[in-house]
Structure 1
Amino acid sequence: MFSYESRVRKDLERWKKEMRKPPSLIERASKGTQKTVTRMFPEKYHEVITGAIKSITTTVLLGTGFVSSKPLHGLPLEERERRVRDKGKIYATTAAVEGAATGAGGFVASLADFPLLLGIKMKFLYEVAAVYGFDTSSYEERLYLLHIFQLAFSSKAHVNEIFEKMESWEHYVSSLPKELDDFNWRSFQQEYRDYLDLAKLMQMMPVVGAVVGIYVNNKLLKKLTETAMNSYRMRVLK
C-alpha cells in the first residue's frame, strides 16, 4: 500500500503539470470576451474593486488586521491536511452564506460582497499557513499568501508567471520587494477582477443573485483550498 505522502507527491506532480500548461487558444480568446464583460459594469463597481484589493493587499503586506494561529509543528502531513480540509469546509460555508445574503440584495449589496469575500479568503490562507507550520509574522510568508491567491484567481498566462516564481521560492524570495509600494497590487487587482467579473455580474441580477452567490463563493473557496494545499506541499515535500 502506498503511504499518504507518496500519494500526495503524485497528486502534486499532476497539479504542477497543470500549472505549467500554457494558455489554450480558447483561454487566450476569452480575454477579449472578458474586456467586453468588464465594460458592462458601472464605474462604482470598479471603484469598489480597486479600493478593496488595495486595502486587503496593504493589510496583508503590513501584517495588520489578521490574527493567525501559531504555526503547528511536529504533525504528520496527513493530519495537517485533514485540518486544512476541515477549515476549508467551514470557510466555504461562511462564504456561501455571505454570498447568499449579498446576492439577494441586488447591485448595492453585491458590491459589499467583494471586500467581505476577500477578507474570508485571506483569513483562510493565514490559517492554512499556520497548519502547515509557517509563520505569517514574516513579511516573506505573507507575500507567499498573496502569490497563492493570484495562483488561484488569475488568467492562465498570469498563473504561469506566478507559478514559476513559486516553484523556486527560496531563490526568488531574495529578490522580493522590501517596500509596500513595490508590490504590483494593480496587476493583482486586474487579474482578480477579470477572473470574477462574469460570475459577479450574474450575482447582481434580481431573483437568481442569491443562488449564484452561494454557488460561486462556495466554489471559489474550494478552489482556494486546493491551490493552497498544493502550494504548501511544494515546500514541505522538498
Structure 2
Amino acid sequence: MLYEQRMKVELELWQHKMLARPSVFDRVSKSVQSRINRIIPQKVHDVVTVTIRQMVRGVLFGAAYTVPEQPVFASLYDMEEAVLRRVDVYRKTAAAEGGITGAGGILLGLADFPILLAMKLKLLFDIAAFYGFDVNDYRERLYILHIFQLAFSSQEHRRNVFEQIVDWKEKSSQLPEDINRFDWQQFQIEYRDHIDLAKMGQLLPVIGAAVGVVVNYRLVTKLGNTAMNAYRMRILE
C-alpha cells in the first residue's frame, strides 16, 4: 500500500505537468518551428511523413513478435523495478549507439534517427507487456503511439494528447480501427521539432559523439518515465 501511495503521488505530479499551459519559452519555440515548417515545401513534408509512417508501422507490426511474455509479479514494486531495469538497458544501449553514430560524422549521425526511433518504440512494447497489457490488441498499439507523443511533443500538443488517453478504455472504442487514419503528419512534425535542436549537435565534428551519448540517454529516460506514468493511470483505476 505504501508503494501504491507513492505511485499515486508521482502520477498526480506528472499529470499536472502534462496539463500545464505552455510557458513563454514553449510558445516562442513552437512559433519559430511553425514558421520554419511553413517555409518547407509540402512535398518535403509528404516524404518525411511517409517515411516515418512506414517506419513506425514496421516497428509496430514487427516488434509484437519479439515482446517478452507477460511476467507475473508479486507486487507493484516488483513490477516497476523490472520496468526500470528494462529502461536502463535501453537507455545505455541508446547512449552507446548515439556515441558511435555521433563519432561517425553526418552520414552515421543521420542513421541514428531511425535506429533510435525503432529502439524507443520497442521499449514501449516491452513496458506495455510488463504492465500486463496485450500489444497484440490494435488499440494497445495506438496507446503506445499516444505515449510516444506525450514524451516527444510540444506542450500544447502534449495537453491534447493527454486528454485523449484519460478514460482510455472508453475512448479507445471510438478510435479509428485503421492505422492509416492516424495523423502521421502531426506525429512526425511534433517528433521532429522536439528533438531537432538537441540531435543536430550530434552531427557536428569532435563533439558529436558526446552529444549523441547524452541526448539519447536523456530521451530514452524521458520516454520510460512517460510510459510508466501513462500505464499507472490505467492500473491504478
Per the normalisation by structure 2, the TM-score is 0.91
Residue pair 1:49, 1:114 contacting (<8 A) in 2 also? no
Residue deviations 1:92-151, cap 9 Å, x none?
000001101111112111111011001110111111011101110100111111110000
CA pair 74-88 structure 1, distance change in 2 beyond 3 A:
closer
Residue pair 1:70, 1:135 contacting (<8 A) in 2 also? no
* Alpha-carbon distance in 2 for matches of 1:58, 1:123: 12
Query: Which residues in structure 2 correspond to 1:1-238 (within 5 Å)?
Result: 3-35=2-34, 50=49, 52-61=51-60, 63-66=61-64, 67-238=66-237
Residue deviations 1:186-210, cap 9 Å, x none?
1110100000110121111111111
* Alpha-carbon distance in 1 for matches of 2:131, 2:15: 19
More divergent stretch after superposition (22-31 vs 77-86): 22-31
* Alpha-carbon distance in 2 for matches of 1:49, 1:204: 19
User: In structure 2, what residue type is equivalent to 1:190?
Assistant: I
* Alpha-carbon distance in 1 for matches of 2:232, 2:216: 24
Q: Offset of 1:40 from its aligned partner?
A: 11
Q: CA RMSD in A?
A: 2.3
Q: What is the identity percentage for the equivalent residue pairs of Structure 1 and Structure 2?
A: 45
User: In structure 1, what residue type is equivalent to 2:94?
Assistant: A
SS of the residue corresponding to residue 62 of structure 2 reads coil
Query: Which protein has the bigger helix share?
Result: 2
Residue deviations 1:10-38, cap 9 Å, x none?
11111111111111122111113335777
For these two proteins, the number of residue pairs brought into alignment is 234
Q: Offset of 1:59 from its aligned partner?
A: 2.4
User: In structure 2, what residue type is equivalent to 1:89?
Assistant: D
* Alpha-carbon distance in 1 for matches of 2:106, 2:127: 32
Q: Offset of 1:53 from its aligned partner?
A: 1.8
CA pair 48-211 structure 1, distance change in 2 beyond 3 A:
farther
Residue pair 2:91, 2:220 contacting (<8 A) in 1 also? yes
Per the normalisation by structure 1, the TM-score is 0.91
Q: Offset of 1:60 from its aligned partner?
A: 4.8
Q: Which runs of 5+ in 1 are unaligned?
A: none
CA pair 91-199 structure 1, distance change in 2 beyond 3 A:
same
Residue pair 1:92, 1:221 contacting (<8 A) in 2 also? yes
